[in-house]
Amino acid sequence: MDDKHLKEQQPFSGLSEKLKRLCTLCDEKFRTIRELKKHYIEYHDDIELKHEKDVLNTNEGFEKWKKEEEIRTKLSFVKNGGVKKVNNKQFTYYMCNRSGIVIFKSKKTP
């Protein structure tokens, strides 16, 4: 589904307006992580994109890993949504605070 379709066929969906993923190198905004990754590859090829998936079986193991990673990289990992249950297993998803998602806020001035 492209932006033209969203604007013409679903004008009230708001999907075409939600550009929350921000390139930290040039401040261009994107609707999806996929679009942001493509942008990094095409326009900022001097950086390396890295995706890691770790499975830790205990909360203690995860907390230890998280703390060590945050100290080593000077980043923070924050919860991304609530707990999800699948096949009697509980999953909590975290994202790096530098993952390119930005929430815009404005202040009223008197």
CB atoms closer than 10 angstroms to residue 63: 11
pLDDT in tens, 39-83: 989 998 887 777 777 777 888 988 898 899 889 888 888 887 778
Phi, psi dihedral angles at 90 (to 5 degrees): -110, 130
Measured torsion, CA atoms of residues 97, 101, 104, 105, in degrees rounded to the nearest 10: -30
| Residues 104, 89: Cα–Cα separation, whole Å | 34
Give residue 110's pLDDT: 53
Q: What is the mean pLDDT of residues 93-110?
A: 59
Interatomic CA distance for residues 93 and 75, integer angstroms: 16
pLDDT in tens, 28-49: 888 888 898 899 899 988 877 7
pLDDT at residue 109 tops 60 = no
What pTM did the predictor assign? Answer: 0.47
